[in-house]
């Protein structure tokens, strides 16, 4: 299998991007980050890419008439960088079906909740408001819905009586970094497949032996 070349889409602070960059540098993740694209100018994630010597671009959704035109610009940039897989690392835009068709089961998202609970924005706030006692994060392949695609791996953290949105967000975020790197490492090894289910049921992710062992050892 050819070495995985990641295009990482970001909108903000980029701590998940940093975890990916650190893991590619240390060899924990056998992949290259080919390009980082932000839809927001001036965000910390862009500095992180620069500090790591990784190419980065700003493609602002505001410069395009509609989502299709914005996504087409993203696709052009990702194509130029010869990206094989796309990671949504805090990217706050929903992609069109046209974009997803260009990377079938090769777009990966990290979400700060144990899906299918609490999709969409403010997942940690939703979890606190509901009163759950366990929260966490999910890495999944992206489909046309919002946070509905096949789940690759999940990790749970406790919700404490004293938690605020900030403290819970920070606890989940630390776990996101571990989870995302482990999931991408398994994908880079080619040990993750999406299995179409008969009769139109949801496709599910099948873990090969190495991926299952990797997740077990990481206690995911
Ligand atoms: C993370 O909580 C991610 O799950 C969510 O947005 C946040 C991004 O954080 N989608 P960062 O930019 O990676 O620091």
pLDDT digits (tens, 9 = 90+) for 73-102: 999 999 999 999 999 999 999 999 999 999
What's the CA dihedral at 75, 42, 52, 105 to 10 degrees?
Answer: -30
Q: Which pLDDT score is estimated for 197?
A: 83
Sorting pLDDT into bands at 50, 70 and 90, what band is 201? confident
What backbone phi and psi angles, to 5 degrees, belong to 192? Answer: -130, 130
The yes-or-no verdict on residue 208 having pLDDT over 90 is yes
Distance 39 CA to ligand 1 centre (A): 14
Q: Which pLDDT score is estimated for 108?
A: 98
Fold of 110-220: Rossmann fold (3.40.50)
The yes-or-no verdict on residue 58 having pLDDT over 90 is yes
Largest CA distance in the chain: 49
Q: Which pLDDT score is estimated for 70?
A: 98
Q: Which pLDDT score is estimated for 128?
A: 98
- What is the distance between the alpha carbons of residues 170 and 182, in angstroms, rounded to a whole number? 19
Locate 59 and state its tokens: 């493609």
Distance 111 CA to ligand 1 centre (A): 7
Greater pLDDT, 68 or 219: 68
Is 111 touching ligand 1 by the criterion CB < 6 Å? yes
The yes-or-no verdict on residue 13 having pLDDT over 90 is yes
Active-site residue list = 111
Please list the residue range(s) of the chain that carry CATH number 3.40.50.170.
1-104, 110-220
Q: Which homologous superfamily is 1-104 in?
A: Formyl transferase, N-terminal domain (3.40.50.170)
Whether 186 contacts 207, CB under 8 Å: yes
Shortest-distance Cα residue to atom 14 of ligand 1 = 15
Whether 205 contacts 151, CB under 8 Å: yes
Shortest-distance Cα residue to atom 9 of ligand 1 = 90
DSSP H helices, 42-130, are 44-51, 67-80, 97-102, 123-130
Percent of the chain with pLDDT over 70: 100
Q: Which pLDDT score is estimated for 157?
A: 98
Ligand 1 atom having least distance to the Cα of 45: 12
Q: Which pLDDT score is estimated for 198?
A: 82
Shortest-distance Cα residue to atom 3 of ligand 1 = 90
- What is the distance between the alpha carbons of residues 143 and 216, in angstroms, rounded to a whole number? 26
CA angle 105, 108, 112 (to 5 degrees): 140
User: In testing the pocket of ligand 1, which one of 89, 123, 135 has its CB within 8 Å of the most ligand atoms?
Assistant: 89
Q: Which pLDDT score is estimated for 14?
A: 98
**Mean of pLDDT values over 24-43:** 98
The yes-or-no verdict on residue 200 having pLDDT over 80 is no
- What is the distance between the alpha carbons of residues 114 and 186, in angstroms, rounded to a whole number? 20
Q: Which pLDDT score is estimated for 199?
A: 81
- What is the distance between the alpha carbons of residues 141 and 129, in angstroms, rounded to a whole number? 27
What backbone phi and psi angles, to 5 degrees, belong to 46? Answer: -65, -40
Locate 70 and state its tokens: 């914005």
Q: Which pLDDT score is estimated for 1?
A: 80
């Amino acid at each position: 299998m050819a070495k995985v070349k990641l295009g990482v889409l970001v909108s903000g602070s980029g701590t998940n991007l940093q975890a990916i960059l650190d893991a590619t540098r240390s060899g924990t993740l056998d992949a290259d980050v080919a390009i980082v694209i932000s839809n927001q100018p001036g965000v910390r994630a862009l500095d992180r890419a620069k500090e790591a010597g990784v190419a980065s671009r700003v493609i602002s959704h505001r410069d395009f008439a509609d989502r299709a035109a914005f996504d087409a610009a993203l696709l052009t940039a990702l194509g130029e960088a010869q990206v094989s897989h796309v990671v949504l690392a805090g990217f706050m835009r929903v992609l069109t079906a046209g974009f997803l068709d260009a990377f079938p089961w090769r777009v990966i998202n990290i979400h700060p909740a144990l899906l299918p609970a609490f999709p969409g924005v403010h997942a940690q706030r939703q979890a606190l408001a509901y009163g759950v006692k366990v929260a966490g994060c999910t890495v999944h392949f992206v489909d046309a819905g919002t946070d509905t695609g096949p789940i690759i791996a999940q990790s749970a953290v406790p919700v404490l009586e004293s938690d605020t949105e900030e403290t819970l967000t920070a606890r989940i975020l630390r776990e996101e970094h571990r989870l995302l790197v482990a999931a991408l490492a398994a994908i880079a090894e080619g040990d993750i497949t999406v299995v179409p289910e008969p009769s139109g049921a949801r496709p599910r992710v099948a873990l090969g032996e190495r991926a299952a062992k990797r997740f077990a050892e990481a206690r995911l």
